[in-house]
A and B are shown apart, each in its own frame.
Chain A
Amino acid sequence: MIDWSTLTERFKGRTTFIRKLANTALDTHADSPDKLRRLVRDRDFEGLAFVAHSIKGLAGNLAATSTQELAATTEKAARDNDDHAYTHASLLADQIDMILGELGEFKRSNP
């Protein structure tokens, strides 16, 4: 999900800083997938739009382009009160899980 070469180039190969970013992302977004799934269950467009917007920013910062685009689609559908937002949000929750997994793997590889 994460384009590691783009991310590394963006921060000029500073692995230590990317590790710090990974730590922060893991700390602050660990519950994002569950939050998205709960909002889908609750049919909460407003909440979905807010969380999708936040994930769009995170994904952009981590060079996870496809996730960034999915988050943008989810956010727009939620703001339009479009039921497709629920489908997109479920997919987005899965992708965040994968991103968090990749970040955890990066931490383990770069202790």
Chain B
Amino acid sequence: MTHSDITILVVDDDAVNLQILEDTLGDRYTIQTAVDGSQGLNYLESGGRADLILSDIVMPKMDGYEFCIHLKANPATRDIPVLFLSSLDSANDEEKGLTLGAEDFIHKPISPPVVMARVRNHLELSQARTRLSERNEELEMLVLERTRALILREQDVVKAQGATITAFCALAEARDNETGNHIRRTQYYVRTLAEHLSQLPRFRAELNDEAITLLFKSAPLHDIGKVAIPDAILNKPGKLTPEEWVIMRRHAEFGRNAIAQAEQEFGHSGIGFLHYAREIAYYHHEKWDGSGYPLGIAGEAIPLSARLMAAADVYDALISKRVYKPAFTHVQALATIMAGKGSHFDPDIADAVLACGDNFLSIARRFSDMQANDETLDNKA
């Protein structure tokens, strides 16, 4: 903005004052004049422009104080700097003017250099304030845009996670005689257990809403390592030999390695979700007393995610029919889980299976493998 684009409204009932101020400021700025506050307000309300207002205080009709009150009460004019120019001498007059919102108080008689300097300073201050305000608006817009972009990216990551699970699961199901329903059931058992245990002080911090969602997403990958097990062992219609068990047990390691590789590809964005998936795949055959595999670790050294999956996986294996064993009833399965409390399973998790028994049964029915199995559950529950 050039100086000539800046308009100063001078409000004074004395023609000599107006003349001096026009002479002082007229070369640099456009000057508009009014003889009292009401005329000044009329000028502004009819669309007149003012980048700064110089106003006398003692004037007929509307004095400078009342004029200032009107200006500062109106959102359209409250940001215009108001400088009182008065021969009122007392400190109270000056204090009152500043309290009403005026930016400055200049004492008469008019000193042209002082008026010029004060006007210039307040115009610069006002322009800086305007620029700052505009910059703030720009920054707020920028933050909004970035936030939107982040949300979209987050949504893409979530979609990618879903696609990863779908692809992995499709692969696992294609290789294994166990149906996709085992995957669904164990996924829901894990969530049921996690939600139940999140009420206990011991698990509250670890099992927050986000963790439970990630566990639910990760659970289907618990046996992904089985894709690396030869068909002859994986689909053997009978019990495995000790040698075959050695190979079979390696599915935990294979699963861990595959997920770790995917984790590297995802970088930071996939860490939460694949971290749980990797834990579950590798540790879900560990036992509370250290007699499990692949590492034989015990107690809380086994990640919580894997301890949850261990209980869910065993419960589901028990109620499922296999070529080498009949399906257990729900009650038998619960009894077996409780028998393993403190040896196979984390004691609190075994208790949770028992406490969530009805929910487990509902899940088992909802994702039942076959009608016959459903009847077994119903008849013997």
Contact = CB atoms under 8 A, between A and B. Distances in A.
**Interface secondary structure of B, over-half rule:** loop
B109 interface: yes
A25 B15 CA distance: 8
A13 interface: no
Contacts of A24: 15-16, 19
A98 interface: no
A15 interface: no
A37 interface: no
Given A21-B20, A28-B15, A61-B20, A72 B89 contact: yes
Contacts of A74: none
A61 B19 CA distance: 11
A21 B87 contact: no
Nearest to B60: A50
A50 B58 contact: yes
A47 B63 CA distance: 15
B112 A10 contact: yes
Interface in A40-61: 50, 53-54, 56-58, 60-61
B109 A21 contact: no
Contacts of A61: 16-17, 20, 108-110
Given A10-B112, A17-B23, A61-B110, A25 B87 contact: no
A72 B87 CA distance: 9
- Chain B interface size range: 10 to 19
Among A60, A68, A72, the one with the most B-chain Cβ atoms within 10 Å of its Cβ is A60
B14 interface: yes
Given A53-B87, A54-B14, A72-B89, A60 B109 contact: yes
B112 A58 contact: no
Given A53-B87, A60-B87, A68 B109 contact: yes
A91 B111 CA distance: 27
B87 A20 contact: no
B19 A21 contact: yes
Given A28-B14, A68-B109, A56 B19 contact: no
A63 B87 CA distance: 14
B23 A58 contact: no
A28 B35 CA distance: 13
Nearest to A72: B89
A25 B16 CA distance: 6
B107 to A, nearest CB: 9
Nearest to A25: B16
Nearest to B90: A76
Contacts of A27: 15
A58 B17 CA distance: 8
A24 B58 CA distance: 20
Contacts of B16: 21, 24-25, 28, 57-58, 61-62
A59 to B, nearest CB: 8
B27 to A, nearest CB: 12
Nearest to B111: A10
A57 B17 CA distance: 8
Contacts of B110: 60-61
B15 A57 contact: no
B94 to A, nearest CB: 16
A62 B13 CA distance: 17
Interface string B1-28: 0000000000001111101100100000
A56 B102 CA distance: 23
18 contacts: A10-B111, A10-B112, A11-B23, A11-B112, A24-B15, A25-B16, A28-B14, A28-B15, A53-B87, A54-B13, A54-B58, A57-B17, A60-B108, A60-B110, A61-B16, A61-B108, A61-B109, A62-B16
Given A10-B112, A57-B108, 5 more contacts: A53-B87, A57-B14, A58-B14, A61-B109, A62-B16
